Amino acid sequence: MDSVDLEVLRNSVRWLERGHRVLLVTVVKTWGSSPRPEGAMLAVRDDGAVMGSVSGGCIEDDLIERVRQRGIEQTKPESVKYGISAEEAHRFGLPCGGTIQLVLEPLSMASGIAELCDAVLAGRLVTRTLDMNTGAVKLEPAQATDGVTFDETTLSTIHGPRYRMLVIGAGQLSRYLCSIAVGLDYHVTVCDPREEYTDEWDVPGTKIVRTMPDDTVMDMKLDERCAVIALTHDPKLDDLALMEALKTPAFYVGALGSRRNNAARRERLKEFDLSDAELSRLHGPVGIYIGSRTPPEIAVSILAEVTAAKNGVSLPTILQVEGAKAARELEGSGEICGI
């Protein structure tokens, strides 16, 4: 879960401990376009104070007004829908045709929110199951890494640590990339055994390690919430990380370099007994094609591709660096047109 939703839960616990009533609002289903994804959360305190969001603002305003007028009287969860009609969609700031379903859950100390926060902060994945008829809650170890299921009688949400990112190399590009990645809510680790780079590393919110890249990959025990990006241009460092990272479930593994260097890298990695399926997972040249040249622009390009992979979006070849540059070369030679 991202830090915003974790903060929603932590504030809910603090408010309950201070004697407030709290309404936890969770997005459980969306149809068409919606401002926030399933699983997004909002906490509304009995005096109208809020933390988090479930829309662009108008639904929050409606919920706040509801609490201020009626208080938090309900004792059991209920589900509500916004944006069913075109008039409601316009009123609540939903995109055309958008509909959002929410579960409104009155919290108590028996809701397990404090225990859930402790588990997430300890790095564990947890399934929280809410019985809509009774309000009873059950916390269990989770097997999946994401998802919300709702069948009108039971709401199950999966909570866990933030996405992690391992960056190989502490050079100038890494500084820009890591700064943006922290803003995107990644837990960022930078690995570089070269003292001349690590001695001056000072990017807030990141962790620097000086171990060898292959050892770092294995020590981190990468899972489906991890991304690995190799940026040193030094095969002795990048290849060590890649040969181990491609064997893990990491959702993204990429390396900086030209198309020629990328082809040579793939040939080198074959010598490490990587299968064709494992090699096919390598993103390289890394990033999407936006004509980037400066380190900040390249960082944006890389993180755009990482974000697409994280969200399960398959980018067309024309947006990938290798495909886009090849198309531009063909266009320049007059072999194709209309790109």
Superfamily of structural domain 164-326 = NAD(P)-binding Rossmann-like Domain (3.40.50.720)
- Rounded CA separation 44/94 (Å): 20
Query: Which residue matches tokens 């009155």?
Result: 106
Q: What is the pLDDT of residue 146?
A: 61
Q: What is the pLDDT of residue 58?
A: 79
SS3 42: strand
- Rounded CA separation 25/154 (Å): 15
* Tally of CB atoms within 10 A around 185: 14
Q: What residues does each domain of the chain span? A: 3-159, 164-326
* Tally of CB atoms within 10 A around 28: 22
37: left (phi over 0), alpha (psi -120 to 50) or beta: beta
> To which H or E segment does residue 15 belong?
helix 3-17
Task: Let me know: does 232 contact 167? Beta carbons within 8 Å.
Answer: no
Q: What is the pLDDT of residue 150?
A: 96
Task: Let me know: does 189 contact 209? Beta carbons within 8 Å.
Answer: yes
- Rounded CA separation 234/240 (Å): 10
- Rounded CA separation 255/55 (Å): 36
Q: What is the pLDDT of residue 290?
A: 87
Task: Let me know: does 226 contact 306? Beta carbons within 8 Å.
Answer: no
Mark the ranges of the chain whose per-residue pLDDT is less than 70: 1-2, 32-35, 56, 84-98, 144-146, 318, 321-339
Q: What is the pLDDT of residue 162?
A: 74
